[in-house]
């Protein structure tokens, strides 16, 4: 009985778990890119080097960064003393991570 339940669970994970994973891929990979490339300095949307130049909505707007594309450009090319991360982010990685950051900024970096 327990064994059958176990098999059924595996079955469910395979058939119902997978599509959800696929849908979540875009935000997941944005989060992963951020964690790998940006969080070292911008943990939780902050900035450990220049505190005022963080990824919170007020700071972004104050510095004229008011859309995801502006963030993507900074991710690629860098800004001020920050290096660009074009090579590390790969194809479209700049857009994906920028969209994710923009979304987090709207939510004040409060994780669900
Ligand atoms: C080694 C530390 C470091 C890493 C890693 C880093 N940044 Fe930065 N970031 C900075 C610093 C320092 C500044 C301020 C630059 C300046 O104006 O001189 C900054 C500024 C920014 C700004 C402008 C914020 C504002 O309010 O003006 C954005 C957007 C940004 N970074 C995005 C990113 C993204 C996206 C990544 C990952 C791909 C990333 N950063 C990785 C250090 C870093």
CATH number for 94: 1.10.760.10
Q: Whose CA is nearest to atom 40 of ligand 1?
A: 38
SS3 state of residue 82: strand
Q: How far apart are CA 104 and CA 90, in angstroms?
A: 21
47 ligand 1 Cβ < 6 A: yes
What distance in angstroms lies between residue 8's CA and the mean position of ligand 1's atoms?
A: 47
Does residue 42 lie in a domain region? yes
Residue 10's pLDDT band (boundaries 50, 70, 90)?
A: low
DSSP 109: T
Residue span of the structural domain in which 79 resides: 2-106
79 ligand 1 Cβ < 6 A: yes
Residue 25's pLDDT band (boundaries 50, 70, 90)?
A: low
Of 27-31, 50-54, 71-75, 94-98, the one with minimum mean pLDDT is 27-31
Looking from the CA of residue 101, the nearest atom of ligand 1 is: 35
Query: Number of folded domains in the chain?
Result: 1
Q: What is the pTM of this model?
A: 0.82
Distances (CA, A) of 19 to 82, 97, 108: 37, 22, 29
């Amino acid at each position: 009985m327990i064994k059958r339940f176990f098999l059924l669970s595996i079955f469910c994970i395979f058939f119902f778990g997978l599509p959800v994973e696929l849908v979540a891929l875009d935000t997941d990979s944005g989060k992963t890119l951020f964690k790998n490339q940006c969080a070292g300095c911008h943990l939780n949307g902050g900035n450990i080097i220049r505190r005022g130049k963080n990824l919170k909505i007020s700071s972004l707007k104050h510095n004229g960064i008011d859309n995801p594309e502006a963030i993507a450009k900074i991710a690629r090319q860098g800004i001020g003393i920050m290096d660009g991360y074009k090579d590390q982010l790969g194809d479209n990685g700049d857009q994906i991570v920028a969209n994710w950051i923009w979304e987090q900024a709207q939510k004040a970096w409060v994780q669900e």
